Amino acid sequence: MHIVTSIQARLGSTRLPGKVLLHLGDHRILHWVYKRTESATHVDQTIASIGDQPENEAIIEYCERENISTVVGPEDNLLTRHIIAVEKSDCDLLVRITGDCPFVPPDEIDRVVSEHMSNNARYTTNHTDRMPVGTAVDAIDPDLLSDLESRGETHPVKLARENPSEWGTNQTDNESWYPVSDAHIAVDTPDDYWTLSDAINAVGSDPMSVSKWVSE
């Protein structure tokens, strides 16, 4: 089975423009996300799925320098971007990660993928209120993406999350993260950025250590 991670990336965030190329500690945020996904043992390839606005050319140039594979698709249609990633990679399973999650745990990626394969699900996610914000992993069968596209959807997982029985959704979480479920380790706002910058300087880049530091 060929498993590919697709990282959503754009510069046009309304709350924190340009965030995926901001430095967090010693590396850019997109670098952190890429390295986490590449460290997952079940992932064969990682692709940055980039919006097609001119401002995102900076992301493409960065990925070229770092030898990160890319696809470019509609800024406002995430689903199409991920479908393009499927077509480019000819993958059997797509793992969706957002580009503002520098502390997504590689072992959590592996756990979600393993659960997906063992449960014969079409879509498996750990996006629950018992997991910290910034640890979300979505494992998606390519045919589900095609079915969502035929419904006129533009988001790759929203409908499947809202209607789990219809779409064969498997929701899972990891009890080892319950004590820090209130942690916010995604970079959504300037406050998140400065908090996580302080965290990485204080305790390093381990996702659990950062989550504990943020929760204190």
Could you list the pLDDT tens digit for every one of the 216 residues in the chain? 999 999 999 999 889 999 999 999 999 999 999 999 999 999 999 999 999 999 999 999 999 999 999 999 999 999 999 999 999 999 999 999 999 999 999 999 999 999 999 998 999 999 999 999 999 999 999 999 999 999 999 999 999 999 999 999 999 999 999 999 999 999 999 999 999 999 999 999 999 999 999 998
- What per-residue string of b and e applies to 155-192 under the rule 16 or more CB within 10 Å gives b? ebbebbeeeeeebebbebbbeebeebbebbbbbbeeeb
Query: Which pair of tokens denotes residue 76?
Result: 């406002």
CA–CA distance, 108 with 137 (Å, rounded to integer): 8
Query: Strand, helix or coil at 138?
Result: strand
> What pairing do the DSSP bridges indicate for beta strands 138-140 and 169-171?
unpaired
For the entire predicted model, the pTM comes to: 0.96
Q: Are 28 and 66 in contact (CB under 8 A)?
A: no
End-to-end CA distance of the chain: 41
Enumerate the domain spans of the chain: 3-176
Q: Which fold has domain 3-176?
A: Spore Coat Polysaccharide Biosynthesis Protein SpsA; Chain A (3.90.550)
